[in-house]
Amino acid sequence: MKIISLAYLAVTTLLCSLITITSVFAQTLAPEVSKPEVAATTSSPRRNDSDQLIILPVGVNLGKQNVIPSTLVRGFEDGSQAINFETWLIPLDDVIQGLKLDVKPLEDGLLEVRSPGLVTRINPEELPTDPELGVVIPVKTIQTLLGVPTEFDMIEYAIKFNPPWLNMRRKGRRTPEIPVVLEGLSEIDAPAFSISAIRQRVNISGRGGGSSSFSNSTNYSGEFTSVGTLLGGSWFLRTSQPDLTNTGTFRLQEAQYFRQTDAADFVLGSQPTFWQSQGTGQYWGATTIQRWGFTPPLSRGGFSPSQRLQANDIGRSITGEAEPGTLVQLTQGFNDVVVDEILVDSSGVYRFENVITGRGGSNTYRVFLYPDGQLTADPEIREAKFSTLPGQLTKGASALVVSTGLSRESSQNGNFFGEFTDVRGGIAYRLGVTEDLTLGMGVVYDESVLGLGELFYQPAGFPLKVKVSALL
């Protein structure tokens, strides 16, 4: 039995040796087969930055001042610093409150955002919406679109806005005219007729000599004038007195009634003509002027048709080109008072309408252009200068003048009123065709029928002035 076990063990050992030798020999003779490489790293699912953001209760500071004690934002921090702070989401209302912005909805759906140092527009549809916070603004958008450096203070656990306009001096704004309220005040009716002033001037002239000679050569002359009111207008009277001792020498020199309003004038009596007179003697008659779209300057020293046909102020336009998003401010003269401002849209064109020039306004304006609406940036400054021709009207404004009367000669036969002779008169119309061009035309009868033509031309930005008034 022992012999059988030893024989079995020997046979088993011999078979294992043969199998091993055969395997080694087969590997030696067989060609090498390349094994596929196995990646050394193992892939794992990645998480987006937004997936890491959670709701956090934080405060909001404007510089060193806390403006919102606590609000909710979506962000993430590891206990020592904010993680991916530019991706944090802050509610829109909290940004408006924190930066103290003035927001105005526009007709096109955009929001016009204003602050002491910024004027821009935001499309609310382009802002993300958080299911818990509502409309939000990423911190990166606050820094780029609004230009506000933003950081997170771990110690105060607050978002801190550091806008560049915190300590900026704001420009002044033109104060709108406050309407005068007369309701409740007692009314005092003006008298239908009044005498405001009377003046009698006396001149004494003569030669020295004996008493009889003195009395014979002495001359007493004078002039009488008086002014007053009548039916809402004013009246004026002047007479000459060549010899105070002889009332038969008194002569009427001027007598005029003048009623003026912003829209119309009426004058009766002695007056100048609105055309270049062709006849002799004074012109006495009735004249009315009707105005549309402009107000004349205050009249002093009696009726002057040329002055009453002028505009106290003329509306002009200031236009230019700028990059979209540029804030354009218009200032008057060389001060910092802002008259108007425009945020340039996609057209790249800005335009200020009805800029007042002339006697009632300024003839010098400056335009400040702030890129991207950043009032803290250095602006580009453009000048706009104007000059006004007397008689020039605003585009669309017009005036009509109608006059009829007689020529008057001083009488030598003792007639106090003088002698009235030739009929004279005319009608004319003046229109502001463009901002640069005003035309007038009419018909005049002065010894003959004549045509009246007027032209006032002053192109913007070009040193040329043309004023023509002629009878043809």
- What amino acid occupies position 351? R
Fold of 314-385: Immunoglobulin-like (2.60.40)
**SS3 state of residue 41:** coil
pLDDT tens per residue, range 189-215: 878 899 999 999 999 987 655 555 445
Six-digit token string for 321 = 């080109």
d(CA 129, CA 139): 14
The answer on pLDDT for 231 being more than 60 is: yes
Contact (CB, 8 A) for 358 and 388: yes
pLDDT tens per residue, range 123-181: 889 999 999 999 999 999 999 988 899 999 999 999 999 998 887 666 666 666 678 88
Q: Which residues 6+ apart lie within 8 Å of 230 measured at CB?
A: 192, 193, 194, 257
Average pLDDT of the chain to the nearest whole number: 83
Local confidence band at 52 (pLDDT 50, 70, 90 cut-offs): confident
d(CA 401, CA 110): 50
The answer on pLDDT for 13 being more than 70 is: no
Cβ-count burial of 396 within 10 angstroms (0-12 exposed, 13-18 middle, 19+ buried)?
Answer: middle
Q: What is the dihedral angle through the alpha carbons of 61, 66, 67, 73, rounded to the nearest 10 degrees?
A: 50
Cβ-count burial of 161 within 10 angstroms (0-12 exposed, 13-18 middle, 19+ buried)?
Answer: buried
DSSP state letter for 411? -
Of 23-27, 40-44, 195-199, 466-470, the range with the lowest mean pLDDT is: 40-44
The pLDDT of residue 173 is: 63
Residue 322 has a CB neighbour count (10 Å cut-off) of 20
Backbone torsions φ then ψ of 442, nearest 5 degrees: -175, -175
d(CA 151, CA 81): 11
d(CA 320, CA 323): 10
- Percent of the chain, pLDDT > 90? 46
The answer on pLDDT for 296 being more than 60 is: yes
Cβ-count burial of 433 within 10 angstroms (0-12 exposed, 13-18 middle, 19+ buried)?
Answer: middle
Identify the CA nearest to 451 among candidates 459, 440, 464.
440
d(CA 368, CA 335): 12
Distance of CA 50 to CAs 55, 95, 252, Å? 12, 20, 97
**SS3 state of residue 15:** helix
Between vectors from CA 352 to CA 347 and to CA 355, what angle results, nearest 5°? Answer: 165
Q: What pTM does this model have?
A: 0.67
Calculate Rg over the CA atoms of the chain.
47
d(CA 162, CA 159): 10
Q: Which residues of 272-298 are buried (b: 16+ CB within 10 A; e: fewer)?
A: ebbbebeeebbbbbebebebebbebee
- What amino acid occupies position 47? R
